Structure formats: C-alpha cells, structure tokens
A and B are shown apart, each in its own frame.
Chain A
Amino acid sequence: MNTTPTPPLTATDLAVDASGLVKDFGSFRAVDGIDLQVRRGEVFGVLGPNGAGKTTMLSMLATLLPIDGGSARIFGVDVASSPHQVRQLVGVTGQYASVDENLTAFENLYLFGRLLGLPKAKAKSTGSDLLDRFDLTDAADRRISNFSGGMRRRLDLAASLIARPPLTFLDEPTTGLDPRTRGQMWDTIRELVAQGSTILLTTQYLDEADQLADRIAVIDRGRKVAEGTADELKASVGNSTLQLRLEDRDDTTRAAAVVARVLGEHPVLTPESGGLNIALADANRAADVLIALRESAISISTAAVQQPTLDEVFLAITGHHSDNETEEVA
C-alpha cells in the first residue's frame, strides 16, 4: 500500500481550514468566497436558511463537488489535490439520508464496513454494535424504505462512524424531525463530541446551533455574514424578544411609544398582524412593558417571550429576512 505521512502537527491544528471557497452553478454563485476555520475537537455550526449554500459548501469540503475557487485543507491535507486522503479523515452524514433503500439497516452497515476494508466477521460485528448503540437493533432486518425519518438519520449517522473518522460532517441532522427525535439526535451528537470527534454541522435553527455548537458561522446567499458564539450572535439582536399582538390594531403606534418610554428603545412593528416585536436585553423587563401597557389602557390579545429566531438574527445582521419557508423553532 502506498502511504504518505501527514504533515506535522502544527499544520493540523485546524480540522478545517478553508479560504475563499467558491462554487458556481452556471452563472449562479452558490458559495461566494467563504472562509472557515474549525478547530480540532470543537463543534462548529454553520447556520443559514434554505438555499444559503450550506450543503454545497460541505460537499466541496467532502470532495463531492469540485472546488471552483479558493482552497480547503482538512487536518492540513489539501482537499483538491488529495481527495483520497481527505476521504479517510471525514465521515459524511448527508442532508438527505445517504443509505441504501434496497438494503436492510444491518446490510447497509455491513456494506459500508466491507467497503472500508473490514474483514467479513468484523464488518458484521461492527454493524451489530452500531445498530445496538443507535437503538436500531429491532429494525436491523427491515428495509430502509419502511424507516421513519428519525431512524434513517440515526442509521445514516451510524454509517458515517464505521471508519471512526476524526472529523464528521452533519448536514441538517434534525431538519424535518419531530421535537422528541430531535432531542435524541442532539444527545447522540453530544456523545460523539465527548468521545473526541470534531464536528461540522449545518442547521437552519439558531437553537440547534445554540445547543450543540461551540462557534457558529452565519451564512446567507453564499457568503459568511457573521461568526461567533451563540451568545455573541444573540446579543446582536437582544437576548430575547417579547412578541405582542394587540386587540386593536389602531393602538399600535401608541403602544410603540409606551415601549420606547419604558425600555428606551423602539420596538419592531409588525402592522400586518397588529403586533410589536420588542427586543429585550433582560427577559425580566417583559413584565415592566406589560404593566405600562395596562396602565395606558392598551389591551393585548397574546404575549410571548421568545428566544431570537434565525430570522431575527438575520434581520439584525443582514437587514433582510431569511426567506425561510420551513417552520421556526419556538
């Protein structure tokens, strides 16, 4: 077997080191000069709405799409010039489950084990082991076509762990899952991190990035528009939002004046629904606002305190909405 030693450790302190990544589809630039640095052992979240270019960017880093501009290194290994080496370092879990519909769960894991060079017996035991660890043993001999979304995702993740890759890509691991399954997936991801994996995950949900990621890059229309910890991002829009709907739309302006007086800042008006969105540095100030409104005889139909949504982070950073047609996370 031909082998090449990996570069010295200094070059591999970064699990991912990409600069100026570009991908063009015809005249459309899906990824437009993204720089990304993921440190060893961290969970890095790439947050962005549908169509932002997350999958395209991951595909380039995973050698699935040629890189049209810029360069990327995985643990110091150049992606464009050494794809075979990079494939030995990265486990990929796709946005759309990349397992074989025609095979059972066990057969899928056995196949990937064999492809990765395991002897037959070892491929079998690794397959059974992983099914066990991902709570899929009962479904081992069922065809994937009958699997629920959550089961597919778990199997997909299990499949990408066969080679025990030091870096794992998770492309929207919980999109489309119900809240309970999403929580399970989060637990799984946390366990992986505890075992020393480095993870690059993409998501459309700020709270998912918040729950899992050490650092977050926000991308929009192929560009990176912000980067930081979850707290830093949220601080840029206020820590939470008080959403109010008024009984009488005509009170909107008057209510805004009251809020401005109490908090010293103007709320965002959403006149089409007769409401106000009020950024709160401190969630306790919500009570002050409500009391002041009662005193001014403005009556409220609904009130809710919410963590900032991706859309609000977006609005704050880019000045436009995220055009996100999928559901927001409450």
Chain B
Amino acid sequence: MSTQTLLPDTTASHALPVDRELSSRPSLAETWQQTTAMAWRSVKKMFRNPEQFFDVTLQPLLFTAMFTYIFGGAISGSVADYMPIIIPGILAQTAITTCMAMGTQLREDMDKGVFDRFRSLPIARIAPLAGPALADVIRYVIASTLTIMVGLAMGYRPGGGFFGTLAAWALTIFAAWSLAWIFTWLGTVMRTAQAVQGTAMLIMFPLTFLSNAFVPEDTLPGWLHAFVQVNPVSHVVTAVRDLMNDGSFTAEVGWALLGCTAVVAIFAPLAVRSYSKKI
C-alpha cells in the first residue's frame, strides 16, 4: 500500500470535522443530481444486459403486424380501416407491458448488497426509485417509436399529421413512465421478483385487454363496456387516437394526462414510503 493518505481530497487529508453543519434533508437540486446519478447507473446496466431491449424491439414488431392482419378484417372490415384503431391501441399496450418490467428489475436490484450502501448514504429516498424510472424512458422511446414506424411501413397514414403523431408518441411515453410507478411500488412491497411478476401480470391483463385498445368499445356487452369506460388505459388509448388521427387536443387528452399524473401522485409516495421502511 502506498504511503499516500487514504482519505480523498488533496487539500485536507483528515476526516471531515463532526461539528460541521449537517443538512436535515436533501434539497431539490441535490435530489435531482442523485436521481440522474441513479439513472446513469441504470443506463450502464441496461446496455450491459442487452436482453432488456428484446421486449421493446420484438413486441412492437410482432404485435403490430400480428394484430393488424389477424383482427383487421374481422373487426373493421379491412386492414386499412383497422389501423387508426389498432396502432394507438398497441402503442398504449406496449407502454404498459414495457413499464411492467420496472417492478421485477427493482425487486432483484434491491436484494443486492449495493442497495445497503444506497440506504446508508445521505441521499433522497426517492432517488434509487426515480433514477431507474428515468432511465427506463429510453425503453419506452424505443418501443413507441418502433410501433409507429411499423404502422407507417404497413401503410398507416395518421390523420393528425406529424405533430399529432409526435404528441401521441410523447403521451405514450409519459403514460408508460407514470404507470411504471405502480410497478415500482409493487417492487418495494413484495418479497420476491416472482411475486412482483405474477401480480404485475394480473394487473396488466385486465388493464390492456379490457380496454378499448383493440376493439371499438360500442361492440362490447354492457358490463364490459362499463369497465372499459372507467379503465384509465382506455382514456390513454382514446387520447392517443384523437391526437394521431385528428391532431386534436381533446378533453380525453386532458383526462389521460390528469389520470397519469394522479397515478404518479399516489404511487410514487407509496413506493418511497415502503422503500424507506423495507430492509
């Protein structure tokens, strides 16, 4: 071992004095730096485990082509007529299935020794949760971009034009980021990654399939219709359709944004609370 001092810092080789001012909580700027540092970590991880990109690339390619050709004729009479319905639907569905992975990822991560260090550091408790969520936006961007591109390649011409499509794309990503907080919360509450996975599936299936994502809701029986109408995913789907097909910022878009914000407002604090308690 060298004869240099071990404590970092070139000016003072001694441990910091104990009677310095201690901050009682992290400031907003500190919280942001900590969150981006955690996001940086997640991005490094992501690119070192490229299987994390499988679902976001394969699913848009497969689902878009499959759903459009299989159901197109049956539901809307023709593939071309079905596209304005199904492409926004698949966008929303993709958003949910890709953000679902947050919960299992986090649960596995939290079991590792490095999370003990994160807990022992004077950092905002939300940073280890918000960091991965921020990094995950990369995956939502890939998934939603690919879905739209596959649609365009299959001949879909969104009536909302470039800006309508851009707005729909942005809304999809925001929805995915918001809904991810539900799964983040699950990750902090449940004990094993399998349990998180199972529960996430149970939430995901009704949310996506009992929505207007794949079929026009007026074809559904009454009781189903009722559920589909209160399902927040339906609002996102309708909002995406309005933006993409008409380029209009309708009330549905407002409701979708409000709903997503509400999800974050509820589940982010819940997740932070249970993360701070859980060891």
> Do B119 and A197 touch across chains, with their CB atoms under 8 A apart?
no
Asked if B74 CB lies within 8 Å of chain A CBs, one says: no
A-B contact pairs, 8 of them (CB 8 A): A3-B23, A9-B19, A111-B37, A134-B6, A164-B15, A165-B16, A192-B6, A198-B15
Residue in contact with B116 in the complex, picked from A15, A66, A94, A103, CB distance below 8 Å: A94
Q: What is the interface residue range for chain B against chain A?
A: 35 or more
Instruction: Indicate whether A197 sits within 8 Å of B7 (C-beta atoms), given known contacts A12-B19, A166-B15, A166-B17.
Output: yes
A44 at the interface (CB under 8 A from B): no
- Contact A99 to B33, CB < 8 A, known contacts A2-B23, A3-B24, A88-B122: no
CA distance A111 to B279 in the complex (A): 22
Asked if residues B14 and A196 are in contact (CB atoms below 8 Å), the reply is yes
**B8 close to A82 (CB less than 8 A):** no
Judge whether A129 is part of the interface by a CB distance below 8 angstroms: yes
A222 to chain B, nearest CB (A): 18
Chain A residues whose CB sits within 8 angstroms of the CB of B30 once the complex forms: 1, 117
Contacts of A77 in B (CB 8 A): 22
Annotate A129-142 by CB proximity to B: 1 below 8 A, 0 otherwise: 11011110000000
Assess the B16–A164 pair: CB atoms within 8 A: yes
Shortest distance from the beta carbon of A149 to any chain B beta carbon, whole Å = 13
Question: Is the Cβ of A195 less than 8 Å from the Cβ of B15?
Answer: yes
Chain A residues numbered 180-223 whose CB sits less than 8 Å from any CB in chain B: 184, 187-188, 191-192, 195-198
Contact A164 B8 (CB under 8 A): yes
Q: Which residues of B contact A (CB under 8 A)?
A: 1-2, 4-10, 13-27, 30, 33-34, 36-38, 40-41, 44-45, 48-49, 112-123, 127, 277, 279
Contact (Cβ within 8 A) A84 B114: no
Contacts of B127 in A (CB 8 A): 115
Q: Which of A57-65, A230-238, A243-251 contacts B (4 or more CB under 8 A)?
A: A57-65
Contact A197 B15 (CB under 8 A): yes
Classify chain A: how many residues form its interface, as a range.
35 or more
B117 contact from A5, A112, A164, A191, Cβ within 8 A: A112
- In the complex, what residues of B have CB within 8 A of residue A88's CB? 22-23, 122
Q: Is the CB of A89 within 8 A of B41?
A: no
Q: B279 — which chain A residues lie within 8 A by C-beta?
A: 59, 64-65
Q: Report whether B16 and A63 are in contact in the complex, using a CB–CB cutoff of 8 Å.
A: no
Out of B17, B40, B116, B120, name the residue touching A114 (CB < 8 Å).
Answer: B40
CB-based contact B116/A184 at 8 Å: no
A166 lies within 8 A of B8 (CB)? no
A135, B6: Cα distance in complex, Å: 11
Residues in B with CB closer than 8 Å to A102 are 41, 44-45, 48-49
